[in-house]
Chain A
């Protein structure tokens, strides 16, 4: 074996990847050649340096920081605010149809009190349907969302009813209470 061939094969030999036959030939050469023995020594020193390549210390609070982020994105997705655009479009179309009918009725009717009641019932149903579509879910958060939504719905309904009933309807509504 020539020195050049030995140098090509030495890394595999250090890694324990040489065949028995190759290893035998190498060892024969190494026994007789000081230059190649020195090369082997250097390779072993380099291999040892690779094994002992020092690790740097990771940040002390790394686990805590990772876990803080992990807790923000649970693996099992909780119900979250989600828009169902198809259903939303149907709801919107329904609402527009209702307002069109209501406005027509408003002009045809002389009394506003009946409108006010119908408007309220319909709006409540509409708002509840929207709530279910937009904020579906369960648990304390969803319950709180429901409460806020119902209060909002009540306010909107009152405002809509107020304007829909007109002057006459309002006075009739007040006197009927």
Chain B
């Protein structure tokens, strides 16, 4: 497959097929970024479409010092900010705060049924405030460095580190609570899936 740089160069000459390849290659991550921030499937699709159209129109201004992906994520992020105006303020706030009710992604899993710890943690991830989902997604979805995440979000790098640290602390706390409640419950309902180490963990 052609590299992003080649495809961008061709698309800048007006090559629609090259741009189509870029869309095909990056739509999954762009869409998931929007979905995790907005928590709404239809809105995420709107934002993703709009982001690519803006990327196409602004392609002549793309100089190639940045990765195409980080440039694209910045467009997605800015469109998300338009939809959630308070997110900008939230991103700049670094003091600890608890998750806001109603600020979560609808999870396909009912929490009562999320007894496998991976499923539990993924459900908890979806319940984190939008700013934490945003920072975590950028950091872990495509292994962006803290510096790159800060560039996409247009906030200081220290703020990104704080958000990611805080988000993991919240997850740790919830996981600890889950372990405690699991320890007190009927063990038959709580058997984790049977793969080696996890099984030993449950039996020990």
Contacts and interface: CB of A to CB of B under 8 A. Distances in A.
Nearest to A12: B165
B23 A66 contact: yes
Interface string B150-178: 00000000000000010010011001100
Contact of B122 (A39, A53, A74): A53
B13 to A, nearest CB: 9
B110 interface: no
A49 interface: yes
Interface string A43-64: 1011111111111101100110
Contacts of B168: 11, 43, 46-47, 50
Contacts of B32: 55-56, 58
Contacts of B137: 53
Closest 7 CB pairs of A and B: A49-B121, A58-B31, A66-B52, A50-B140, A55-B32, A76-B14, A46-B171
B28 interface: yes
Most buried by B among A39, A48, A58, A59: A58
A37 to B, nearest CB: 13
Nearest to B20: A67
Given A58-B32, A63-B20, A76-B14, A49 B122 contact: yes
Contacts, number: 97
Interface of B: 11-12, 14, 16, 19-20, 23-24, 27-29, 31-32, 35, 41, 45, 48-49, 52-53, 56-57, 59-60, 117-118, 121-122, 125, 136-137, 140-141, 165, 168, 171-172, 175-176, 179
Nearest to A47: B168
Given A53-B122, A66-B27, A70-B53, A42 B136 contact: no
Contacts of B35: 56
Interface of A: 11, 39, 42-43, 45-56, 58-59, 62-63, 65-67, 69-71, 73-76
B53 A62 contact: no
A66 B49 contact: yes
Contact of B60 (A49, A65, A73, A75): A75
B125 A50 contact: yes
Contact of B52 (A48, A55, A70, A71): A70
A7 to B, nearest CB: 10
B125 A53 contact: yes
Contacts of A62: 23, 27, 31, 45, 48-49
A70 B8 CA distance: 15
B175 A46 contact: yes
Given A11-B168, A50-B140, A58-B32, A45 B121 contact: yes
Contacts of B172: 39, 42-43, 46
B138 to A, nearest CB: 12
Given A52-B118, A69-B53, A42 B20 contact: no
A75 B60 CA distance: 8
Nearest to B19: A70
Contacts of B12: 75
21 contacts: A11-B168, A42-B176, A46-B172, A46-B175, A47-B168, A49-B117, A49-B121, A49-B125, A50-B168, A52-B118, A54-B122, A55-B32, A56-B31, A56-B35, A58-B27, A66-B27, A67-B16, A69-B53, A70-B53, A73-B53, A75-B56
B23 A67 contact: yes
Nearest to B124: A49
Nearest to B118: A49
Contacts of B52: 66, 69-70
